[in-house]
């Protein structure tokens, strides 16, 4: 790194921080705007719609009640990852200079002409426990009660920010509380559209979530503007084209997830079903007709 900096002239005595002229400042601001637009476009291209049963996406513009819940629904840190601002990344939203969470973006869309009524309940925190300290709506029970009254449920799940050794896992299982949240929401309302948005940078076992949900979006770690990214897909403004670069196995041993070979019946055993879901390369669509 030092050699590269030397070659680039960054270590030269003449290279030092000097005040920028107004023209240089304006140019820097414009460049940052373009960089943010580019980052937003890359995030949209990277989002993968792995399930869209009965074409529930995009959402209709008709009046409806929407519940947004889950531990990553309002966290810029969880949607950005462990190298955001500092090591391990676990910063509160106010430490970010820009961005939009799924909750914020959903409320913005509802105020821009959509006749949507937005309701919010925490449901569970990032480690699968009650959201103690959040005040109203701090349990799965309360989220389920609200879910019984709505048309659509957005469930934002995933991992807390992590980096390097502190992020190592002993189990691939997503924390049970998050899976339980989705299960209880489905039990509370069999007719509601349940859309799961997963934020995380690695494979986790999703359990029964794919069978409980109507649609599943794997957003990975799209950055601070993740809310806009997700809303563009949910409203049909953007047709997701991303394909999964990894396979999400069904079991801890990774069975059913072959390496350098298409998924086939050879990936299963006679005593249990172990087809992975979702699998590498999967990319359904929700293009508006």
Which segment of 7-16, 63-72, 277-286 scores lowest on mean pLDDT?
277-286
Over 90: is that where the pLDDT of 118 sits?
Answer: yes
Q: Band of the pLDDT at 133, cuts 50, 70, 90?
A: low
Query: At residue 119, what are phi and psi to the nearest 5 degrees?
Result: -120, 150
So what's the pLDDT on residue 160?
A: 92
Q: Band of the pLDDT at 279, cuts 50, 70, 90?
A: low
The string of pLDDT tens digits covering residues 234-273 is: 999 999 988 888 877 777 776 556 666 666 666 555 444 5
* DSSP class of 208: T
Our CA angle for 139, 141, 147, nearest 5°, is 110
Tokens of 29: 């601001």
Mean pLDDT estimate for the chain = 86
The string of pLDDT tens digits covering residues 48-58 is: 999 999 999 99
Task: For residue 195, list its beta bridge partners.
Answer: 154, 215
Q: Band of the pLDDT at 19, cuts 50, 70, 90?
A: confident
So what's the pLDDT on residue 185?
A: 98
So what's the pLDDT on residue 134?
A: 46
Residue with tokens 């189990």: 171
Our CA angle for 45, 285, 277, nearest 5°, is 90
Q: Band of the pLDDT at 288, cuts 50, 70, 90?
A: very low
Higher pLDDT, 135 or 57: 57
Best mean pLDDT range from 255-259, 274-278, 285-289: 255-259
So what's the pLDDT on residue 25?
A: 76
Query: At residue 89, what are phi and psi to the nearest 5 degrees?
Result: 65, -5
Q: Which class for 250: exposed (0-12), middle (13-18), buried (19 or more C-beta within 10 A)?
A: buried
How many DSSP H helices and E strands does the chain contain?
7, 6
So what's the pLDDT on residue 289?
A: 39
> Mind listing the domains of the chain with CATH numbers?
44-245 (3.40.50.1700)
Which helix (H) or strand (E) segment is 79 a member of? none
So what's the pLDDT on residue 143?
A: 96
Over 70: is that where the pLDDT of 122 sits?
Answer: yes
Q: What is the pTM of this model?
A: 0.83
Our CA angle for 88, 89, 94, nearest 5°, is 155
């Amino acid at each position: 790194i030092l050699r590269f900096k030397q070659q680039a002239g960054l270590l030269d005595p003449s290279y030092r921080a000097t005040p920028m002229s107004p023209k240089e400042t304006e140019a820097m601001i414009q460049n940052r705007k373009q960089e943010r637009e580019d980052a937003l476009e890359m995030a949209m291209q990277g989002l993968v719609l792995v399930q869209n049963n009965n074409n529930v996406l995009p959402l209709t513009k008709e009046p409806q009640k929407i519940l947004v819940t889950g531990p990553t629904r309002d966290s810029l840190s969880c949607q950005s990852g462990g190298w955001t601002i500092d090591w391990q990344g676990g910063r509160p939203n106010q430490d970010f200079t820009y961005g939009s969470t799924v909750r914020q973006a959903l409320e913005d869309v509802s105020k821009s002409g959509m006749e949507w009524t937005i309701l919010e309940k925490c449901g569970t925190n990032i480690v699968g426990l009650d959201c103690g300290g959040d005040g109203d709506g701090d349990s799965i029970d309360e989220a389920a009660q609200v879910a019984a009254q709505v048309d659509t449920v957005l469930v934002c799940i995933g991992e807390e920010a992590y980096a390097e050794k502190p992020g190592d896992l002993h189990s691939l299982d997503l924390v049970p509380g998050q899976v339980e949240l989705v299960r209880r929401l489905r039990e509370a309302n069999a007719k509601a559209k349940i859309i799961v948005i997963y934020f995380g940078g690695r494979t986790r076992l999703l359990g029964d979530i794919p069978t409980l949900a109507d649609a599943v979006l794997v957003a990975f770690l799209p950055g601070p503007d993740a809310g806009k990214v997700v809303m563009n897909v949910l409203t049909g403004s953007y047709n997701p084209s991303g394909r999964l670069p990894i396979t999400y196995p069904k079991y801890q041993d990774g069975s059913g997830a072959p390496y350098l070979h298409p998924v086939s019946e050879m990936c299963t055993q006679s005593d249990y079903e172990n087809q992975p879901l979702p699998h590498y390369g999967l990319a359904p669509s929700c293009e508006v007709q």
